[in-house]
Structure 1
Amino acid sequence: MAASPVASLGAGVLFGLALAAPPGPMNAVIAEESVLRGWLAGFTAGLGAMTADACFFALALAGVVTVVQNAPTLRAAMILAGGGLMLYFAVGAATSAQAALSVDSRTETTDGGMGRGFRKAFVLALTNPYQIAFWLTVGVGLLEPGTVDILEKTPYIGAELAGLVVVRTGSPLLLAGLFGGIVCWIVGFPAALRAAGRRVDRLTPLVAGGSAVVLAGFGLLFVADGLGALL
């Protein structure tokens, strides 16, 4: 069990990377912005998602998350709204993919500016059931003394990684490392996509199309979950 300051910070970075890296709606938005508008747009989109995490963290400190935790109807409405937004943005990603097919995929577009991706990712993250669930459960627990199994919380493959990295919670360094890990991802992921884009001519429409599929898939899933919970 990690206890030293360096170990807590390093575990936090690992935690942040484990949470940020798996495929999902946030990375779909970051990928779309990166290949269509450049590294800065992709980074800005990632910053929007991380800002939403910071808001959830502040709400957890203030105890507001308890209100959401005890209001299943409100949670269901947020899930439904998030699904609807993902479907809406999926249409935009599909349109971008179609447009990219008619031009040089290496040509960056600037429609909407840098703030476009930030706003899109920020709004999506605020209604993303995965992020909401994390801060209602694990996120709140990070603020209190105890332990957390970091890799167990990794989406999709957490069960296979359970027990490998268990750290003490309640340390500011763990939380600082978590956000540091997210920063590493939103810097490195767009950079990797841009580097690949300079070698793969058709990357732009493929990534934009893939983003549309991911957003649509998660959107349908969340709409179904939200409606099921409300009904």
Structure 2
Amino acid sequence: MAQVARGTPANPAPIKALDRFFGFFGAGWRTDGAYSSNVVAFNGFAEEDFTASGNGTGIDFLTTPVGATSRRSAVKFRANGALELQPQAGAPTLGTAAGQIVFDANAGAFKGHDGTRWWRLTNLPRFSATTNVDHYLAAGAWTRIPFNVAEANDQGAFAAAAGRFTAAEAGLHAFHANLAYRRNGTSAPTAFEAQLYRNGAPAGGAGRR
């Protein structure tokens, strides 16, 4: 299929932005004894209204997701040379193989598949928090110290009011903390221990300083 102008052959009009001026389409015979609609396509389209000084174009690859019957744009090559992965509602669950990359609109991140699962490549959940009050620690007793001021909080995964980080998805997460104490009066602590909690229970061993 091709369209090189608007209007009619006898009276052509200029191509407009987003007009498709060529396309290749594919359909297939189904188990119900009928042909599908055009479920795969490769189109060339205008990125701008065509003028004597501007003929910007792009290429659009359209596929049909597993379990669906209608095609949608999957990948575009834009006029500026950019490769554009069209945002999907989430990482695919079928037909995945190592090396695939998708833009997960729900996570707002690119994800890559290693053959087993999807891994977040961008927009990682990160936070930096501090505590803005003094906490008095009784000798030989554990005291929970809330980090109640979020200085940075990508994706909002850290809740300052509760001092709690909630993982956006399964995976390995690394945490680093800097803790210090000062003497209160004449007391002289001989040891200082810190313990992280996961889901309300101690996680790992306590660190002694």
TM-score, length-scaled by structure 2: 0.18
Would you tell me which structure has more helix in proportion to its own residues? Answer: 1
Would you tell me which structure has more strand in proportion to its own residues? Answer: 2
